[in-house]
Amino acid sequence: MPRHLRKQRRWSLIIIVMVLLGVIGVTITQATDWIDASFKDKQTTTAQSSSSSSSQVKSKSVNQVKLNVPLVNQMTTPRLYNGCEVSALTMLMNYANINVTKNQLAAKLTSVPLTYDNGEHGNPNYGFVGDISGDNPGLGVYHEPIYKLAKTQTSHVKDLTGSSFDTVIKQLELGRPVWTITTVSFAPVSTMQTWDTPQGSVKVTYDMHSVAIVGFNRTKKLIYINNPYGYKQQAVSWSSFKAAYNQMGKQAIVLTLPH
């Protein structure tokens, strides 16, 4: 073969090889980009799925709680005819392994007269109004004197008064029964009245009652209470009980001791 033809063939081969190398390089780069993109998409999808699953776990709520809180009957001898508030508190104490009786607590509870000489009434925010035993007329007591009474037994007491009913439910989910003021019907009442007291006006009703809230069932829309009248884990309407809770000033107390 003539020399000039051999040179032309050699350059043709070199050009072909260079073109092939270029094509292979572009293909490899495209493949690498595709793999990177696929990996990033998979990471994003996995992260989104993980975030969604985490969100679902966090938002999942407990359907039912039923705490086995000891029942204290205010009518058991020696009875406290008007002593539902200290009886309900005794249930919380006994559940927390604090050995105290309703009558021992009643003896330490501050009291105020039902009626003063000037016609004013006692203030349940300052003490038990009237006679807790029932030998003489009495009304009841609100959260602050009960909170102070609880503090004589343990420092692990929290006054949740003013908190929403959802806060009460969260305490139950933590395994803590809740002391509260409600009504005898566990629903709002039309018997509220305003009393003049030495400390100012206060809203009261003779239909007030106190219980230990011990559980709930979301599906059945029920609240479970230990009723000092002698009923353990009594089921009442969630909506009605919540409405009564709001009407009576959202009064609630818990013990934060481990059970």
- Give the domain ranges of the chain: 1-60, 64-255
Helix (H) or strand (E) holding 221: none
Q: Report the CATH superfamily, name and number, of domain 64-255.
A: Cysteine proteinases (3.90.70.10)
Model confidence at 118: pLDDT above 70: yes
* pLDDT, position 60: 72
Strands 193-197 and 200-204: antiparallel
CA 83/CA 86 separation, integer angstroms? 6
| Residue 105 contacts residue 111 (beta carbons within 8 Å) | no
CA 130/CA 218 separation, integer angstroms? 38
* pLDDT, position 61: 84
Confidence of residue 258 (pLDDT cuts 50, 70, 90): confident
| Residues 6 or more apart whose Cβ sits within 8 Å of residue 241 | 182, 186, 187, 223, 225
Model confidence at 126: pLDDT above 60: yes
* pLDDT, position 110: 97
* pLDDT, position 12: 52
CA 259/CA 241 separation, integer angstroms? 26
* pLDDT, position 174: 97
